[in-house]
C-alpha cells in the first residue's frame, strides 16, 4: 500500500469515531442536503456553521409554538422554555424529550457541548451551563437551524 493510501485509511478510522458512527434516522448525502436546504441553513446544519448574533428573527420570537429542526422537521424546543439570554441567538433552558443529542466539541480551542438533532444528526448550536432555573442550562441555537411553528406550545 502506498503511504498516502495508508494515511487516508487512518484518517477514515479516526473520523468514524463513536459520534460519527451513530446512525441518523434521516439521512441524505451532503449534495442532497445542499439542494434541500437554504444556503445559510445548510452551512449551519450540515457544516456546524454559526449565524451572526442578532441576525435571526427567531431571537425575538415570543409567540407560543414549537421550534422544529430546520433539516428534518422534528420538534426540538417549546416556546415554554425559550428565554432572552441577551446573546443574540434563540435560547432555551431545555429541549423537548428525546429531541437532541449532545457531544463534546473541541473546535476553536474551547471545550463546548455541541447540540445536534437526534433524528438527522444536524448541527443546531451549543449548550452552556449558565442558563436560568430550573435547569441552569442555556441551549444556544442558530435561528437558521430551526423552523418556528406558531400555535399551541408543545
Ligand atoms: Zn433533524
CATH number reported for the structural domain that contains residue 124 in this entry: 2.170.150.20
Q: How far apart are CA 36 and CA 91, in angstroms?
A: 26
Measured over the CA atoms of residue 141, residue 143, residue 146 and residue 152, the dihedral's sign is: positive
In a domain, 4, yes or no: no
| Residue 11 falls inside a structural domain | no
Q: Tell me the per-residue pLDDT of 86-128, one tens digit each, with 9 for 90 and over.
A: 999 999 999 999 999 999 988 888 889 999 999 999 999 999 9
Best CA proximity match to 102, nearest among 137, 136, 59:
137
Q: What local confidence, expressed as pLDDT, does residue 143 receive? A: 98
Judge whether 38 lies within some domain.
Answer: yes
Flag whether 5 is in a domain: no
Q: What is the DSSP string of 92-145?
A: ES-PPTT-EEEEEE-GGGS-EEEEEETTT--EEEEEES---TTTT-EEEE-GGG
CA of 119 to the centre of ligand 1 (A): 5
Domain that holds residue 35: 25-150
pTM for this entry? 0.82
| Residue located via cell numbers 428573527 | 57
Is residue 8 included in any domain, yes or no?
A: no
Cβ count within 10 A of residue 82: 24
Give the residue-averaged pLDDT of 3-7.
49
pLDDT above 90 covers what percent of the chain?
A: 77
Centre of ligand 1 from the C-alpha of residue 86, in Å: 26
Q: How confident is the model at residue 23, as a pLDDT? A: 67
In a domain, residue 16? The reply is: no
How many angstroms does the Cα of residue 1 sit away from the middle of ligand 1? 39
Confidence of residue 82 (pLDDT cuts 50, 70, 90): very high
**Which residues lie near ion ligand 1 (Cβ < 5 Å)?**
69, 71-72, 74, 117, 119-120, 122
Query: Is 108 part of a structural domain of the chain?
Result: yes
How many domains does the chain contain in total?
Answer: 1
Catalytic residue set: 140
The rounded mean pLDDT for the chain is 89
- pLDDT confidence bin for 21, thresholds 50/70/90: very low
Amino acid at each position: 500500500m502506498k503511504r498516502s493510501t495508508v494515511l487516508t485509511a487512518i484518517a477514515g478510522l479516526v473520523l468514524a469515531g463513536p459520534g460519527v458512527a451513530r446512525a441518523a434516522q434521516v439521512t441524505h448525502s451532503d449534495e442532497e442536503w445542499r439542494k434541500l436546504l437554504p444556503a445559510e441553513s445548510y452551512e449551519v446544519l450540515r457544516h456546524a456553521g454559526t449565524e451572526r448574533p442578532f441576525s435571526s428573527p427567531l431571537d425575538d420570537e415570543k409567540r407560543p409554538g414549537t421550534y422544529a429542526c430546520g433539516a428534518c422537521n422534528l420538534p426540538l424546543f417549546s416556546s415554554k422554555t425559550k428565554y432572552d439570554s441577551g446573546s443574540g441567538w434563540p435560547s432555551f433552558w431545555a429541549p423537548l424529550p428525546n429531541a437532541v443529542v449532545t457531544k463534546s466539541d473541541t473546535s476553536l480551542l474551547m471545550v463546548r457541548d455541541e447540540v445536534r438533532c437526534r433524528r438527522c444528526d444536524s448541527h443546531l448550536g451549543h449548550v452552556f451551563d449558565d442558563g436560568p432555573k430550573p435547569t441552569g442550562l442555556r441551549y444556544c441555537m442558530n435561528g437558521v437551524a430551526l423552523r418556528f411553528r406558531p400555535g399551541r406550545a408543545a
